[in-house]
A and B are shown apart, each in its own frame.
Chain A
Amino acid sequence: MSAFLALLKRDLTLAVREGAALGTALGFYLVVVAMLPLGLGPDLKLLSRIAPGILWIALLLAALLSLARLFEADHEDGSLEVMATAPLPLELAVAAKALAHWISTGIPLALMAPVIGLMLNLDIALTPALIATMLAGTPAISFLGSVGAALTLNARRGGLLLALLVLPLYIPTLIFGISAIGFAGVAQHGFGASFLILLAISVASMAAAPVAAAAALRLQMS
């Protein structure tokens, strides 16, 4: 357990010191959302209606930007090979790294969403539901993304391939995230069901994705 926490702490320290990954992701999020009203015109009703969907899709793309680097630095400097010879199973090391990615990227993006949503005339009453669904859904983004990051580790220009591999896996998270926010405006019952499914998707990916990602990493190292 101390090894798991040590890796989590190291990755979070590096995320804070390097800073660029989070800055790029947040900046990208802001720019994508800011461009939409310019493209769609100043129809406040339309913007308000599509705001949750836009925020979710932009969040997926922004998180994807930093996912490509998830294992790359450790692969380049040899840390990954040393980790593979540690008592801590590689699966748990992957989980620690994905968790660090969620904390350093997923949570800030989720918290930024309502603020950026103001540009889309997002209904203020939806803010709690938006943050809750994004916090519940973003672990799946980090963990499922870790599989793609591991698979594309040695691929040159792997970023686009990563998006191609991983974005389809995000569809369930997107569907239930949007539907939960949709229900939040109308009836509480629907929100609960969608929110729980969203949580279930995240929990399932936290359990399954590290196994797949670790297998992919072993393949990449051989």
Chain B
Amino acid sequence: MLHLHADNLSVERGTRTVISGLSFAAKAGEPLLVVGPNGAGKTTLIRTIAGFIKPSAGTIALKGDVGDRDIGERCHYVGHLTGIKANLSAAENLAFWATFLDGGTHDAIRDRVEEALSLFGLGALADYPAGLLSAGQKRRLGLARLSVAGRPIWLLDEPTVSLDAASTELLARLIEEHLVGGGLVIAATHLPLGLEEPVYLRLGAQAAADPSAEEEQP
């Protein structure tokens, strides 16, 4: 089973220490929700796990079922930006990411893209230029990436921004499915996401002072 352990992690941005002495563990099957006020370091933490930022101290390690790839190559990173090209159609955007992130035959990719588009309610807009989609539809198209390429770790940074209630519910269902399938989800969010029994990781003033800031909430 997949585990992600962070040990005594410290991250600096510029001259400011955003995360200091943070230790936590994320297990496959348990969603880890990173919560905290603005500026608490949620995005920084997600980006550090994805490997974009090098921690100034401490380690992040993946245990169990580990291949030769590092965490960055085993994760889906969904950040504030959607990675959508305005001049490609919705289907072309998704087909590109499916090929780029996972690969497969032309037909297999087309099927996966069609399935993901209809799952996210974008089936009717498949051939529509992505630049003309609304903010929420773009967001959904960006999230559809999660279901066209399989990755064990999902790193989601505020995934519910500009999503409506139905889409948020759909995302929660996808996350549940991923967890049941033995996946690992770490999400920075202000919303509870409607998940059952999430584990909370609180960042912020207390978290910086107290290294063992991991606590569970009902």
Contacts and interface: CB of A to CB of B under 8 A. Distances in A.
A76 B85 CA distance: 10
A2 B54 contact: no
B85 A10 contact: yes
Interface in A71-90: 73, 76-79, 81-88
Interface residues of B, number: 29
A222 B54 contact: yes
Contacts of B54: 222
A218 to B, nearest CB: 8
Interface string B87-118: 11000100011011101000000000000000
Interface string B75-89: 111011111110110
Assign chain A's interface to a size class.
20 to 34
Contacts of B87: 14, 17-18
A53 to B, nearest CB: 37
A7 B83 CA distance: 13
A14 B88 contact: yes
Contacts, number: 72
A77 B79 CA distance: 10
B178 interface: no
A3 interface: yes
Nearest to B98: A6
A204 interface: no
22 contacts: A3-B100, A6-B96, A6-B100, A10-B85, A10-B96, A13-B88, A14-B85, A14-B87, A14-B88, A77-B81, A77-B85, A79-B85, A81-B52, A81-B83, A82-B77, A84-B52, A85-B77, A86-B100, A87-B73, A88-B100, A222-B52, A222-B53
Interface of A: 2-3, 6-7, 10, 13-14, 17-18, 73, 76-79, 81-88, 218, 221-222
Interface of B: 50-54, 69, 72-73, 75-77, 79-85, 87-88, 92, 96-97, 99-101, 103, 142, 145
